[in-house]
Amino acid sequence: MNNIQINKKTMRCIIAAVLLIAGVLGGYAYYSGQTVSTDDAAIDGNTVVLSPKVQGYIKHIYVQDNQQVHAGEIVMEVDPADYETKLTTAQTALAAAQAAFDAAKHQHQETAVTAPAKVTAAEEQLKGAQAAWKKALLDKQRMTVLAQSGACAQKELDQAVAAESQTRAAAAQYEAELAAAQAAPEAIAASQSTVEQLQANVAQAQAAVTQAQRDLQHTKIVAPADGRITKRSVEAGSYVEAGTPLCTLVSQDLWVTANFKENQIKHIHPGCRVQIIVDAYPAWKLTGVVDSFQAGTGSYFSLFPAENATGNFVKITQRIPVKIKLDSLPPSAALLLGPGMSVVPTVYIKDGFL
């Protein structure tokens, strides 16, 4: 009787264990069918190599490796002395060019106003001079006739001859002045050309000042975004050329690049929720959302993509990089995470599981 009771208890335990195992396996199968995971994933982010736009000696370094900086903060400074001198020289040249332009412009404006008046005045003077000469010529002719007949003295004839000669010379002078005054349009055009040339000189000098100001401004290397400084490669006193890498800025804009197998992405789509475990900090439970898929496999964009047009071919399951945006990170986590850190993302391909 006791043996029968023991056997019944044993059977109940066995049945319960079988049901429990079946339930666990069924739950695991059901749950695993709702998620896709990979360990081929890492933190990714924007990195910017900071370099100067001008050459010179590094005068100041305001940051250390791994230091947090903010957008617009000065990281390093190239010695600005030479560029300050260039700016002063350019400003002096601009002032000289501006003064020459202002003087030429004033002269041009004065010429444009006075030239027509000079023509009118020269015409009136010429008319008066020609009238005086005609009268003197008549007087000379009359005196010559009278002198031949003995009706006037030789002295009076000489005076008439002298008067005619003087008035004729004056008329010729005024005629020349009128011709010069009538050439005013050419003079105005030449003056305008000079003004335009000097104006171009001013523009060129202004451009030189602007460039000198930019060069002076570029002696300060500033952080383009919030982030951390890494791989600083220079010290104060080092000579650098424009474009020399000085350090790298790792921005706080981080995401995950997960390389899923091509047979895993069938049910993954943008908007799927993701749970992320960081290898370095396994206690953290980060979350995110699938953002996009790379338009091609990882191997296709590698330095040496695979060439399958050969006699020997082995099919290899390819991996598709998937970008996963992280949800907002606490400041402490943002400071500890960086590109390249290994993570394990789990994508929930059906809603309601995360």
Over residues 42-75, the pLDDT tens digits come to 999 999 999 999 999 999 999 998 999 999 999 9
Q: Which pLDDT belongs to residue 181?
A: 59
CATH 2.40.50.100: which residues of the chain? 49-80+217-240
CATH 1.10.287: which residues of the chain? 83-216
Q: Kindly report the backbone phi and psi dihedral angles of residue 268, in degrees, each rounded to the nearest multiple of 5, phi listed first.
A: -85, 135
Mean pLDDT highest for which of 14-23, 84-93, 266-275?
84-93
Average pLDDT over residues 93-119: 79
CATH number of this structure's domain 49-80+217-240: 2.40.50.100
Q: Binning pLDDT at 50, 70 and 90, where does residue 239 land?
A: very high
Average pLDDT over residues 310-319: 76
The strand pair at 281-293 and 273-278 is best described as antiparallel
Lowest mean pLDDT across 228-232, 241-245, 300-304 = 300-304
Q: Kindly report the backbone phi and psi dihedral angles of residue 260, in degrees, each rounded to the nearest multiple of 5, phi listed first.
A: -80, 150
Q: What is the mean pLDDT of the chain?
A: 82
Q: How many other CB atoms are there within 10 angstroms of residue 88's CB atom?
A: 12
Share of the chain above pLDDT 90, in %: 46
More confident residue, 257 or 131: 257
Say if residue 136's pLDDT is above 90: no
Match domain 83-216 to its CATH number in 1.10.150, 1.10.287, 3.10.110, 1.10.10: 1.10.287
pTM score > 0.75 for this model?
Answer: no
Average pLDDT over residues 178-200: 73
Residue with tokens 């994508």: 347
At 293, which helix (H) or strand (E)? strand 281-293
